[in-house]
Amino acid sequence: RRTYIGAMPGKIIQGLKICKSKNPVFMLDEIDKLYQSYQGDPAASLLEVLDYEQNHSFRDHYIDMPFDLSKVLFITTANTTDTIPDVLLDRMEVIRIPGYIAEEKYHIAKHFLLPKQLKKHGLPKNSIELDKNALFYIINGWAREAGVRNLDRQLERLCRKKAKSIVKKDDAFPHHLDEESIRSLLGPEYYTGDTIPDKLKPGIAIGLAWTSTGGSVLLVEALSTPAQGSSTLTLTGNIGDVMKESATIAYNYIKNYFNGDTHAIDFFTKNNIHIHVPAGAIPKDGPSAGITMASALYSLVKDKPVTKRIAMTGELTLSGRVLPVGGIKEKLIAAKREHCNTVIMPIDNKKEMGDIPSHIAKGLTIYFVAHVNEVFDIVFR
């Protein structure tokens, strides 16, 4: 690398020189990690490259003459679109690739990751025997993520310890690994057991969330305390502004829903309402927990628990309509992983079911609803 900027062609021109073609495929990895510094703004430079309205006359600092990039196919990757500048994102077609389900991770680990790690550590192919149950135990306990990076890391740890045992001529390392031996080698699981209580108390409902790392199940808890004066609504759980608005909408809808119920009116007048979404250390936002919060409040007012193992997702309006949400595949995967065999989602998301692999939806009872009152009929029947 030359010392001064502009002392040699930039990476784009260098790549074209290596390819010896005017229409190659360029991949820009992890474009969401761009950041601005005193040296300049890379997003501004990429705008000139990715915008097909102006990249026919791209000007490299070294060549200092227009160069046509309009025939180049640019592919970028990112873990999230939230940190990509809007002006840059507007020039892209976003293709969302969902995370792997446990079954897919199992096959990747068995046929690629484990053989790769055995070869990397100079171990014979059959030196570590992991059956299907053992691999699923590692996946569910240590690698509950969208990709397989952490799964690869855990298999690397096992191979490293196996190699160490061979060098030390220690026979303590078992040939066939079961759950007990895996736990002794990897330590306590990162993700332990079932996140849903065996018995739901009144005021608790199960929601489905979608993040950059995949789908997850979240509990929404509602609690009442005697009011010292006018009643209040408190929201906790490290939730963002959109989720706070969803909670307010759910609260006001439930108050209006029970408008003719003397007991409910008295309940809201004499009690403060506290809505909490654990875990408190994890930031959460988005409108998809609207019907979950409404169900939790309904459960609290009627002192009636939600039917166990029913998970739900959907945005709620003040009129009670249930609006569509994103991340349907990931949410269904999360529901299946947590043994929630019944799922409630907006009717406008029904058209997406054609793109969901049959093995994901298999075993799930899915209700599509247009109004939150339909949700109440399902979870409190």
Residue from 215, 74, 214 nearest 149 by CA: 214
Residue 288 bears catalytic tag: yes
* Cβ atoms < 10 Å from Cβ of 156: 16
Residue 331 bears catalytic tag: yes
Long-range contacts of 121-126 (CB under 8 A, 24+ apart): 121/156, 121/159, 121/160, 121/162, 121/163, 122/163, 123/159, 123/162, 123/163, 123/166
Q: Is 314 left (phi over 0), alpha (psi -120 to 50) or beta?
A: left
Q: Which of 284, 329, 331, 336 is catalytic?
A: 331
Token output for 136: 């699923």
Residue from 328, 318, 324, 230 nearest 271 by CA: 230
AA identity, residue 285: D
Residues listed for the chain: 381
Distances (CA, A) of 217 to 5, 53, 198, 379: 49, 43, 15, 17
* Residue whose entry in the numeric block shows the structure tokens 């029913």: 310
For residues 177 and 128, is the Cβ–Cβ distance under 8 A?
yes
Q: Which of 288, 295, 329, 336 is catalytic?
A: 288
Catalytic residues: 288, 331
